[in-house]
Amino acid sequence: MKIVKFGGSSLASGNNVEQALKIILSDKDRQVIVVSAPGKRDDQDIKVTDLLIKYAKQVLANKNSNEIVQEIYSRYQEIANYFGLENEKVEIIKEILLNLPKKSYPNSDYLMAAFKAHGERLNARLIALILNHQGIKSRFLDPVEAGLIVTGEPNDALVNPETYINLDQVSIDPDERVIFPGFFGVTPSGNIATFARGGSDITGAILARGLHADLYENFTDVNGIFAANPNIVDHPQSIKKMTYREMRELSYAGFSVFHDEALIPAIQGQIPINVKNTHEPENPGTMIVPEKNFDPDNIITGVTSQKNFSALYLHKYLLNKEAGFTLRILQILDNHNVPYEHMPSGIDDITIIFNNEFLNDQLIDQICNEIQAMINPDKLEWINNYAIIMIVGEGMKQTAGVSRQILDSLGQDQITPRMINQGASQISIMIGTQKEKADKAVKIIYDQFFN
Ligand code: ASP
């Protein structure tokens, strides 16, 4: 049995849904279908999830929301009309939308989560209606009914292990298709909570593990995962196969085709993932597989850059002899609730790299003041325009001289790394550079290994 997940851009219009249904029906093993909310029909369009966020905000501000409800409903209506579904059958969608503000929620975060979740919840309902209308036996299965239990933040939830016990109880008839909404689960107290944005990928992986699927097919709008960002490198190669940990490193560092959190359930269940293109389903796409017996095609699998970093450079003689030095720095960061990304160090110095998402000017000053007062370094420098280049490949483990090749090629273009760090797994090399040089560095490294 296969779990098939379709992203929002693959379900944005009637036309798109028709293509998705064709894919589903062309393989009897594609039995469990996880759907996103309808996405953008064109560049100017708005995702249904974002419309629902707007709706929730209007309700929280006690504003009239008739217009936004109509706008959301019309997105579903358009798809229903395309398939000739009678109006009475889809009116339930409008009713559910109108009833959302009348329900009770523990606080505004839960309200927001419940509104957002309805993008997928209503879409799954609609797609099950369409399939049944076409005479194909199908069933809408709600995460609440299936026992997809989540805990943590209402808008950034995590799956609870109890889910897998519950999913073991779910039975699926051999001749039916089950349509399951992505992106959300239910908390132990019975409220709806969503995963992080893009979280329908996570639902697909949870079902793949929990229902013991043979394959998790993730349909999106590109031919799998590219070895580099196509906005930086002209027509990069698409990756035929890669390991889970390569994907995790690359998605952490900016590859956004597949959600990084979604890998964990797939790894736990050792379910292979196939990222494919809805508009070109015959293209094999990218297979993401376990490390065992993996035979890499290339030395490196992908290269990416992330530009949203800053770094704190500290220099102090005999730093490596001073016990508790890093502990005290981490204590200061912890007091301000600021996580760090990397911390490469030398004998007399250390660089701490931060994601800017967690910082603001005031916080930076506070942290620097406290570190200066407590640690008394000889030099403290805050570097704003920091970028990280990540080079990932299982093939690097068995190849000598990869770092030299990378550094030589960068050097020829006068790019001098601010730091270089090889991950303990030996499958990634991380290079710190100036933000302005990051794209150039990605191009150079790509050309070095792929052209
Ligand atoms: N619809 C949600 C979002 O836009 C989740 C998803 O599409 O995966 O973030």
State which amino acid sits at residue 262.
A
pLDDT, residue 426, reads: 86
Angle at 339 between CA 337 and CA 342, to 5 degrees: 160
pLDDT of amino acid 320: 75
The pTM of the full predicted model, rounded to 2 decimals, is: 0.90
Q: Across the chain, how many H-helices and E-strands are there?
A: 14, 17
CA distances, 447 to each of 144, 364, 406 (Å): 49, 37, 11
Whether residue 47 has its Cβ less than 6 Å from ligand 1: yes
Atom of ligand 1 nearest to the CA of 195: 5
Question: Could you give the CA distance from residue 127 to residue 262 in angstroms, rounded to a whole number?
Answer: 23
Taking the CB of residue 66, how many other CB atoms lie within 10 A of it? 9
CA-wise closest residue to 131 among 118, 141, 146 = 141
Q: Which atom of ligand 1 is nearest to the CA of 37?
A: 1
**Residues 118 and 97 sit within 8 Å (Cβ to Cβ):** yes
Counting beta carbons within 10 angstroms of the beta carbon of residue 73, is it exposed (0 to 12), middle (13 to 18) or buried (19 or more)?
A: buried
Compute, in angstroms, the gap from residue 256 CA to the centroid of ligand 1.
Answer: 13
Q: How far apart are CA 33 and CA 225, in angstroms?
A: 21
User: Do 267 and 209 contact (CB within 8 A), yes or no?
Assistant: no
For residues 315 and 396, what is the distance between their CA atoms, to the nearest angstrom? 32
Alpha-carbon dihedral angle through residues 108, 114, 120, 124, given to the nearest 10 degrees: -170
Pocket lining: 304 vs ligand 1, CB cutoff 6 Å: no
C-alpha–C-alpha distance, residues 183 and 185, integer Å? 7
Non-local (6+) Cβ contacts of 300 within 8 A are 227, 391, 392, 393, 395, 396, 402, 445, 449
Rounded to the nearest 5 percent, the helix, strand and coil shares of the chain are: 40, 25, 35
Q: Please state the atom number of ligand 1 nearest to the C-alpha of residue 7.
A: 7
Q: Is 199 in the pocket of ligand 1 (CB under 6 A)?
A: yes
Q: What is the DSSP string of 340-396?
A: -SB--B-SSEEEEEEEGGG--HHHHHHHHHHHHHHH--SEEEEEEEEEEEEEE-GGG
Ligand 1 centroid–CA 254 distance in Å is 17
Site to probe by mutation for ligand 1, drawn from 35, 40, 47 as the one with most ligand atoms within 8 Å of Cβ, is 47
Direct distance between the N- and C-terminal alpha carbons of the chain, in angstroms, rounded to an integer: 39
| One-letter identity of residue 90 | V
Sheet holding 273-277, edge to edge: 138-140, 177-181, 30-35, 2-6, 215-220, 273-277, 286-289, 241-243
DSSP string, 277-323: ETT-TTS--EEEE-STT---SSS--EEEEEEEEEEEEEE-TTGGG-T
Give 156's strand partners: 153
> From ligand 1's centre to the CA of 113, what distance in Å?
12
> How many angstroms separate the CA atoms of 50 and 91, rounded?
22
The best mutation among 11, 197, 218 to test binding of ligand 1, ranked by most ligand atoms within 8 Å of the C-beta, falls on: 197
Q: Are 284 and 366 in contact (CB under 8 A)?
A: no
Q: Which atom of ligand 1 is nearest to the CA of 119?
A: 1
Q: Is the CB of 181 under 6 A from ligand 1?
A: no
Residue with tokens 């990540």: 390
221 CA to centre of ligand 1 in angstroms: 14
- Tens-binned pLDDT, residue by residue, of the chain (451 aa): 999 999 999 999 999 999 999 999 999 999 999 999 999 999 999 999 999 999 999 999 999 999 999 999 999 999 999 999 998 999 999 999 999 999 999 999 999 999 999 999 999 999 999 999 999 999 999 999 999 999 999 999 999 999 999 999 999 999 999 999 999 999 999 999 999 999 999 999 999 999 999 999 999 989 999 999 999 999 999 999 999 999 988 988 878 788 888 999 999 999 999 999 999 999 999 999 999 999 999 999 999 999 999 999 999 998 778 788 889 999 999 999 999 998 988 889 999 999 999 999 999 999 999 999 998 999 999 999 899 999 999 999 888 889 999 999 999 989 989 888 887 778 999 999 999 999 999 999 999 999 8
Instruction: Give, in order, the Cα–Cα distances in Å from 335 to each of 313, 316, 408.
Output: 20, 23, 41
Q: How far is CA 114 from the centre of its chain?
A: 20
| Pocket of ligand 1 contains residue 8 by CB under 6 Å | yes
